[in-house]
Structures are given as C-alpha cells and as structure tokens.
Amino acid sequence: MSDNKTLGEHLRERGVSRRGFMKFCAATASLMALPPAMIPAIAETLQNARRPSVIWLSFQECTGCTESLTRSHAPTVESLIFDYISLDYHHTLQAASGEAAEQAREAAMKENWGKYLLVVDGSIPQRDGGVYSTIAGMTNLEMLQEVAKGAAAIVSVGTCAAFGGLPKADPNPTGAAAVSQIVTDKPIVNIPGCPPIPVAITGVLAQYLTLGKLPEMDHLGRPKAFYGQNIHDRCYRRPFYERGQFAETFDDEGAKKGWCLFKLGCKGPTTYNACATAKWNEGTSFPIQSGHGCIGCSEPDFWDAGGFYKALSVPIGDAAGAITAAAAAAAAAGLAAGAVNRYHKQVAQAAHEPLKVEELSREEKS
Amino acid sequence: MSGPSVEKGINFIREQIDAPVASFFSSCVHCGMCAEACLFYTQTGDPRYTPIYKVEPMRRLWENEFTLWGRIKSTLGIAKKVTEEDFAQWEELVYDGCSLCGRCSLVCPVGNDISGMIRKIREGFSAAGYAPEGLIGATTRAITIGSPMGVRLPALKAQIGHVEKETGIEIPLDRAGAEYMVLLSSMEIMNFPEYLQAIARIMRQAGRTWTISSKAFEATNSGIQIGASDLARELVQRVVDAAEELGVQTVISPECGHAYTAIRWEGPNLIGRPFKFKVRHILEVLDEFREQGLIKTRGKEQARLTFHDPCQLVRKGGVVEQPRHLLDLVAENFVEMTDHGAMNWCCGGGGGVSANERADELRLKAFRQKKSQLDEIGVETLVTACANCRITLEEGLEEYEMDIPVVGLTETLAEHLVEEDQEGQG
C-alpha cells in the first residue's frame, strides 16, 4: 500500500539522477503541450508528490496494454513512475491472489475513497447481465460500477476500454461496451490504441499528479497532446504520398524503396495517434517504418472498418452501399419527377386541338 | 370551332416545354448578355426587350408546373400564375420586339437557345388569340390563298410570261423529273421578278433542269412566323407533296430567310419524317455551280459594296462562306461590316416583324443598328440574299434618307454571266 516517501526520494533511491529527472519533466511538459515555464513546477510537484493510489481493473482484454507498458519500457523513467504509483490492485502485476487480492482492492478503495485513480483496460460485457466475464464471482459490470463510485477520475487504457475495441467488433456477442458507456458521472480520459503508446499513459498520469486534473481532450475524450494529429500528417513517408509514389504490394520495388503504403490499406490519414512521433520500443520504430500500414487501432470500431489492406479511397463500412442506395433513390426520384413532367406534358398534348387558321383572331371568337 | 382562349394558349405553351427548355431556364445566370446582343434592346434601351425576359410567361409556367418549388408554391397558392393580362402585355415583346434573329442564342454564355424559345412561346400566343393582326392576315392568306401576299397562280403565270419574254428562256412549270424544284417568295414574284430571271439564266448556263410547281410555288411560311406549327405543317406539306409528286432531287429555297428555316430545318420535324429530296438555299446551289465551274462570269462590280447577312440563312442556316465566294466572282470592292457573318445584326424585319404594321415604328428605330454599321463603312451598294431583308432595308434606308441601292445576290451574279453562246439562240 501507500508509504510516505515522495516521488523524488523514491527516484533517488532507484538511482535516477536529478538531470535524468529534469529531462523527464521537460519531455513530459513538451509531450503534454505545456509551456516550458511549467517544467520546474512539474519537477517540484512530482518531487513532492505523495504516491497516489491506483486501482487497475482488467476486463475483456488481452493484457497487451499492460505488456506494452511493463515490457517495452522496463528500465525507463516512465516505468519507475509506474512502479512508484501505488498500484494497489492489478490482476497481472499484483502478488496477491484469490480473496487476498480482492481484499486489497477493497482496502485501497476504503482508504482512498474519492481520491484514487481508476485505470481500466478491456471492455465490459453487458449482455445477459454481464455473465461473460467475471472476477471472483463478480461481473465486470458490477465491479466497474462499484469501483468507479469512489474514483477521482478514470483512465480508460486501450481501445477496448476506450471504445469497446475487439470484443465489441461485429457481431459483438457479449454486448461489450466502453467504460464511458457505463460510467457517466466521473471524469474519464481515453488512451486508446491496441495497445496505447506507453508515454501516453505516463504523460496523462504525470499531468494528473502535477496539475491535479486531466489533460485537454478531443471529441473522443483523448488527450490532445498525444492524439491531436493524425499519423499521415506526421509520417516520414508523406513525401511519397504527395508525389504519388505508392507501394502496390508488400514486396514490390515501391515497398522496398519505402514508398507510401496508402494503397496497401494504411489508415494513417484517418488515425489520430502519436506513433509517428513518439514511436515504439523507446523510439525505435512504428508500424509504417517497419513496412506495414497503420491499422487505425486508436480509432473507434477500427476492426470493422472494411479491412486493414483496403485502401482508404474505397469507402469503408457500409458507405458504398449507402451511397449506391442514395444514388438509386435519387435516380428513382429523378425518373419519377421526369415521368410526372412527361405525363403533365402528354396531358397537354392530348388536349391539343389542331389550330385552324380561322381561330387565330380573337374578334372572330364570338 | 373552339376559338382562341388563354387556357388554350397556356396548354400550347405547356406542350412546348421540353428537356432543353427546362435546362435553359435552370441554367440562365441572368448575366444580361442577351440584352446587349438584341437590336431591339440596344436601340431602345428598354430592358423589357431583354430576350430572356420575352419568354417570362413560359418560364413562369415551367416553374409553376415542372419544378418542385413551383409545385409547392402552386399548392400553397403563392405562385404567380400566367394570366390573360400577361398575354396582352407580352404580345408586343414576343412579336414586335423580336425578329427571331438568334443573336441572343449565339452570345448566351450557357448556351440557351433563347430565340428558339421565343419561337416556341409564339405557339401559345397565336392559340390564345394574341398575335398581331398583320401576321394573322398573312397566315390566313397563306393557308386559304396559298400566299401571304395573296399571290395566286394566275399572277405567277403572268410574271412567268414577262420573264420568258424578257429573257427568251422557257420557264418550265410542273416538269416531272427535273433536278431542281424552285420555290419563290411572294415578294419575289411581285416586287423582285429579276430573281426569277436570274434563276432562268443561271440554270441555262449551268445546264441543269429545273421546274416550278403550280401546286406549291410559295416558299414562305407564315405559320413559322406567327408560331403555329399546325399551320406551318400544312404549308410545308404542300411543298413536300408537290416535290415528291414531281420527283425532283432538290428543292431550292429562294432568297428568303425564314422560308429556308421553315423548309429545311423545321420542315421534316413538322411532318414527322425525312424528305425524299434535298433542300438547299439558292446560294448553296450557286456556290456548288461555281465550284463545279458551271458558272462563267465576266467583269466585276466596281461599286464599293457590302453584304447584309440574312439571319436565318447565315447565323441559323450556316450559309456563311457561300455568299462571300460568289461575291468574289463579281465584286471588285467588297467590304465587310464590323459585325458580319454569324454575328451580323438583323435588319429588324425578320420573324414576322415586317408583316406586322403595328411594329413599324419600333422596327425603324431598331434599324438604326444597321444604319450605324453602314455609316461606318460607307458603301455604294448593299447586297443581300433575302427578299424580306431587302424590303426592310429599303424602307429603313428611305426613312433615314440614305441613298444606297439594295440588290439580291443571285441577280447580281446573273448580271455578270457570260452568255455569248446562248445569245445566238435568242
């Protein structure tokens, strides 16, 4: 549980230098689009921050989000921060099991009621009373509702928690839903991605620790600092797109030369995430850099968007059908209008009595 | 007999509304370029003579009955209906203020055939009894007598007699199997017999066979001018029947503008089938003769002269180069007016305006357009190829005291024929 050490003390114990810590603070400020003047404030606040209690609930998920966070960034400052927070309950990471684990959760809730941060990964099944996923005999739905009550804020990590993700993909057999569909009375920040970029998680946590509030968000509840720009606009292959140089297959000349993957179904143009800038594995690479198009994993319903290898210019989903139907309806309406007009004219023609020369003059009418 | 009525007129206009008309009204951008192209507007400055405005009743009918908004407005009772008052007001614009010259259609940036629509709207006005007396009279004579000027066969025969005497050439009447059947306008029979003379001499030199039908010698078609297709059809049918009975290859439309439009362009549409003969304007035939070397001329006119392009023949009929080629043969000092060929200015008397006495004042006012063109180049002779233009030009020149003789191109050409070999035959 929580001890009384500050973050600064904790980091120093772990051998992180002042310089390394300041670098992290500057990076965090810039990542979160905060002014440079905020860096000392971040450092000061983080130094003296008390360990906040974090309860991490995993529901219908694959543990990929946790893997992303714990494995790829193991020795970094971000992971130390993550170590530092008082992770009082986490299926995968906690040592306790069985009833002890549930007791830990309940104790953390009680001790930090109204103050703890709730992190959720995975979607929540709702169909048939939510029986499709239970923990210790409790449905995910019940657990979320219970834990959310005492939370200061909720962080939905991963696309499943944020938007429903894969479990919600058509035909959604479990009635999977996003956190925001169930909890409506708490501040929620979505950090989607399959999995999300680790710094997006630590960045949000850092800001919450320092400023005591959640970051500025877009219309989908995503922090703008990480999800404010689309992959395409920041992609290093963008010049090839502008020149119309595309890889047509995964093993052609264009693919070898690193041309744009748009025609191979890259969803970069419609995907808002920081992959192209923050990258993965400590800034090593990201999918497009390793030769595969973006699959749009940080967008809602990316799994049902018509195929990862289908170029975006092909209407996704049912748009094609809708357009065809609309066009057909419009054509039918046009034909109907034309038929009405033609009929109207035919009536006029039927009423036509050939004009006789005697009928030209009005005077002769009577 | 049901007699003319506004309902009938509206129904006749309704019949004329087709896809082109709908697209024309939909695409009009109200730029006003047609106004600047219309001599009735430029010479009066009266915006009511803006060509597209002349078909406003038709536009309103189209909007009320053929568009969604119009139908909604009509249902709500807030649409402006076409009334008898509209017919009374627009009659002057539709007949007196338009010579169907087609200059507006040519300049329209969105390609609207405005003069074609005025031709269409006249269908409704004639059926509603709102056509000018002069045109009603001409049409009545054309149908009942066979000529808008009341020329009957005996009058033609008398002229034929004069021409035969003058030229010593036989004018073949009703000769079956002739290559050409020649049509004449009443005006040529009565006012300009030199045309018939010229034809006789040119045909003799070219060595072609030709004839005139006693059943259908009249080329003009008042039904086209007043805008009554039912009557225009009857007049066209007479020519078609005669030509097919005689089995001629080609019917020659005379030096008359609307006659050419009537028989060549509107004719097959009116009777609903292709003709079994070709139709050519006399200038087209003469230019063919020239190309084939069938015409030998001697000497050239020394007078400074210009050519007035008849609208129906040149702008609407596409006979632009032929008159120039022919004038090259016989004119030394040919000059063009500023706007010539397809962009010529109308004499002001076309489209039935010259047959409408009520429009005389307006027509003479509009003639100032032609006057300024002529003043600019200062010619001694004015050549044209339309009897109606010729009369209108003569009247206009007289009104403005301009001493310029107006002559037909065919007769001008005939004056320079080399006829030594035939002269001996006397």
- Name the minimum distance, in Å, from the CA of B59 to any CA of chain A: 15
Q: Give A206's contacts (C-beta < 8 A, 6+ positions apart).
A: A28, A32, A42, A46, A81
Q: Which of B69, B100, B131 is the last residue of a domain?
A: B131
Residue of B nearest to A341 (CA): B66
User: Which chain A positions have a beta carbon within 8 Å of B14's beta carbon?
Assistant: 344-345, 348
- Judge contact between A273 and A286, C-beta under 8 A: no
Q: Which residues of A268-278 are buried (b: 16+ CB within 10 A; e: fewer)?
A: bbbbbbbbbeb
- Output the pLDDT for position B328: 94
Q: Residue B66 above 60 pLDDT?
A: yes
- Output the pLDDT for position A365: 43
Residue of B nearest to A361 (CA): B129
CATH number of A7-227: 3.40.50.700
User: Which chain B positions have a beta carbon within 8 Å of A365's beta carbon?
Assistant: 3-5, 129
Please tell me the least confidently modeled range out of A305-319, A351-365, B63-77.
Answer: A305-319
Say if residue A173 is preceded by a cis peptide, omega within 30 of 0. Answer: no
Does residue B423 lie within any of the structural domains?
Answer: no
Residues B104 and B183 in one domain: no
Helix (H) or strand (E) holding B381: strand B381-384
The proportion of chain A whose per-residue pLDDT surpasses 70, expressed as a percent, equals 90
Q: What's the complex ipTM?
A: 0.75
Residues B56 and B25 in one domain: yes
CB atoms within 10 A of CB A33: 14
Does residue B62 lie within any of the structural domains?
Answer: yes
B17, B68, B228: residue with CB nearest A355: B228
- Output the pLDDT for position B254: 95
Q: Which of B290, B308, B335 is the last residue of a domain?
A: B290
Mean pLDDT throughout B347-352? 94
Residues B298 and B282 in one domain: no
Give pLDDT tens digits for A35-84: 777 777 777 777 776 667 888 899 999 988 888 777 555 445 555 566 66
Does residue B422 lie within any of the structural domains?
Answer: no
* Host domain of residue B314: 293-415
Interface-testing mutation among A352, A357, A366, with chain B (most B C-beta atoms within 10 A): A357
User: Which chain A positions have a beta carbon within 8 Å of B66's beta carbon?
Assistant: 341, 344
Interface-testing mutation among B6, B10, B15, B143, with chain A (most A C-beta atoms within 10 A): B15
Residues B168 and B273 in one domain: yes
Long-range (24+ apart) CB contacts under 8 A made by A21-26 are: A21/A46, A21/A47, A21/A77, A23/A77, A24/A77, A24/A78, A24/A81
Alpha-carbon dihedral A129, A132, A135, A137, rounded to 10 degrees: 50
Edge-to-edge strand order for the sheet containing B301-307?
Answer: B331-334, B301-307, B381-384, B406-408
A348, A357, A361: residue with CB nearest B143: A357
Residues B284 and B375 in one domain: no
Residue of B nearest to A349 (CA): B15
- Name the minimum distance, in Å, from the CA of B301 to any CA of chain A: 46
User: Which chain B positions have a beta carbon within 8 Å of A360's beta carbon?
Assistant: 4, 126, 129, 131, 136, 139-140, 226, 228
- Judge contact between B54 and B122, C-beta under 8 A: no
Type of residue numbered A255: A
Cα dist. B389→A260, B312, B363, B382, B395 in Å? Answer: 70, 10, 12, 11, 10
Dist CA A84 CA A78 (whole Å): 10
User: Which chain B positions have a beta carbon within 8 Å of A357's beta carbon?
Assistant: 139-140, 143-144, 231
The pair of structure tokens assigned to A30 is: 């810039």
- Output the pLDDT for position A362: 77
Residues B161 and B268 in one domain: yes
- Output the pLDDT for position B22: 94
CATH number for the domain spanning B379: value is 3.40.50
Phi-psi domain of A182 (left: phi exceeds 0; alpha: psi -120 through 50; beta: other): alpha
- Output the pLDDT for position A76: 58
B5, B136, B143: residue with CB nearest A361: B136
- Judge contact between A78 and A16, C-beta under 8 A: no
Type of residue numbered B300: K
- Output the pLDDT for position A83: 62
Dist CA A223 CA A213 (whole Å): 12
> Helices (DSSP H) in B344-419: which residue ranges?
360-366, 368-377, 387-399, 409-415
Long-range (24+ apart) CB contacts under 8 A made by B411-414 are: B411/B192, B411/B194, B411/B195, B411/B197, B411/B198, B412/B301, B412/B330, B412/B331, B412/B383, B413/B198, B413/B202, B413/B286, B413/B295, B413/B297, B413/B326, B413/B329, B413/B330, B414/B194, B414/B197, B414/B198, B414/B199, B414/B201, B414/B202
> Helices (DSSP H) in B145-252: which residue ranges?
153-167, 186-190, 194-206, 222-226, 229-246
Q: Which residues of B269-294 are buried (b: 16+ CB within 10 A; e: fewer)?
A: ebbeeebebebbbbbbbbbebbeeee
Cα dist. A65→A55, B161, B246 in Å? Answer: 15, 112, 98
Q: Give A172's contacts (C-beta < 8 A, 6+ positions apart).
A: A164
**CB A361 to CB B4 under 8 A?**
yes
Give pLDDT tens digits for B73-123: 999 999 999 999 999 999 999 999 999 999 999 999 999 999 999 999 999
- Name the minimum distance, in Å, from the CA of A320 to any CA of chain B: 28
- Output the pLDDT for position A23: 77
Does residue B57 lie within any of the structural domains?
Answer: yes
Give pLDDT tens digits for B367-420: 999 999 999 999 999 999 999 999 999 999 999 999 999 999 999 999 999 876
**CB B1 to CB A344 under 8 A?**
no
- Output the pLDDT for position A57: 92
User: Which chain B positions have a beta carbon within 8 Å of A355's beta carbon?
Assistant: 12, 126-127, 228, 230-231
Residue of B nearest to A339 (CA): B66
The pair of structure tokens assigned to B351 is: 């489209």
Mean pLDDT throughout B333-361? 94
Give pLDDT tens digits for A115-124: 888 999 999 9
Q: Residue A15 above 70 pLDDT?
A: yes
Dist CA B50 CA B95 (whole Å): 13
Q: Residue A13 above 80 pLDDT?
A: no
Does residue B426 lie within any of the structural domains?
Answer: no
**CB A344 to CB B66 under 8 A?**
yes
Q: Which of B131, B166, B196 is the last residue of a domain?
A: B131
Residues B57 and B150 in one domain: no
- Output the pLDDT for position A10: 72
CB atoms within 10 A of CB A325: 11
B3, B22, B66: residue with CB nearest A359: B3
Q: How many domains does chain B have?
A: 3
Q: How many CB pairs under 8 A join A and B?
A: 64
Greatest mean pLDDT among A105-114, B186-195, B380-389: B380-389
**CB A365 to CB B129 under 8 A?**
yes
Q: Residue A87 above 80 pLDDT?
A: no
Does residue B313 lie within any of the structural domains?
Answer: yes
Residues B224 and B299 in one domain: no
Mean pLDDT throughout A136-155? 93
The proportion of chain A whose per-residue pLDDT surpasses 90, expressed as a percent, equals 44
Q: Which residues of B326-351 are buried (b: 16+ CB within 10 A; e: fewer)?
A: bbebbbeebeebeebeeebbbbbbbb
Give A319: exposed, middle or buried? Use CB within 10 Å, 0-12, 13-18, 19+. Answer: exposed
Cα dist. B336→A31, A53, B282, B377, B415 in Å? Answer: 78, 98, 21, 8, 22
A344, A353, A361: residue with CB nearest B129: A361
**CB A364 to CB B136 under 8 A?**
no
Residues B144 and B281 in one domain: yes
Please tell me the least confidently modeled range out of A19-28, A168-177, A211-220, A328-337.
Answer: A19-28
Does residue B161 lie within any of the structural domains?
Answer: yes
Dist CA B413 CA B184 (whole Å): 18
Q: Mean pLDDT for chain B?
A: 93
Q: Which of B160, B142, B40 is nearest to B95 (CA)?
A: B40
Does residue B141 lie within any of the structural domains?
Answer: yes
**CB A355 to CB B231 under 8 A?**
yes
Dist CA B18 CA B6 (whole Å): 20
Residues B52 and B190 in one domain: no
Q: Which of A138, A186, A159, A155 is nearest to A82 (CA)?
A: A155
Query: Secondary structure of chain A in the HEC alphabet?
Result: CCCCCEHHHHHHHCCCCHHHHHHHHHHHHHHCCCCCCHHHHHHHHHHHCECCEEEEEECECCCHHHHHHHHHCCCCHHHHHHHHCEEEECCCCCCCCHHHHHHHHHHHHHHCCCCEEEEEECEEECHHHHCCCEECCEEHHHHHHHHHHCEEEEEEEHHHHHHCCHHHCCCCCCCEECHHHHCCCCCEEEECCCCCCHHHHHHHHHHHHHHCCCCCECCCCCEHHHHCCEHHHHCCCHHHHHCCCECCCCCCHHHHCCCECHHHCCCHHHCECCHHHHCECCCCECHHHHCCCCCCCCCCCHHHCCCCCCCCCCCCCCHHHHHHHHHHHHHHHHHHHHHHHHHHHHHHHHCCCCCCHHHCCHHHCC
- Output the pLDDT for position A53: 81
| Residue found under tokens 């239970």 | A134
The pair of structure tokens assigned to B151 is: 């020329």
Q: How confident is the model at residue B422 (pLDDT cuts 50, 70, 90)?
A: low
- Judge contact between B177 and B246, C-beta under 8 A: yes
Residues B203 and B314 in one domain: no
Domain boundaries defined on chain A: 7-227, 231-304, 319-364
Mean pLDDT throughout A209-223? 86
- Output the pLDDT for position B92: 96
Mean pLDDT throughout A92-105? 80
Q: Give A75's contacts (C-beta < 8 A, 6+ positions apart).
A: none
Residues B93 and B218 in one domain: no
User: Which chain B positions have a beta carbon within 8 Å of A345's beta carbon?
Assistant: 14-15, 17-18
User: Which chain B positions have a beta carbon within 8 Å of A342's beta carbon?
Assistant: none
Q: Residue A160 above 50 pLDDT?
A: yes
- Name the minimum distance, in Å, from the CA of B87 to any CA of chain A: 13
CATH number of A231-304: 4.10.480.10
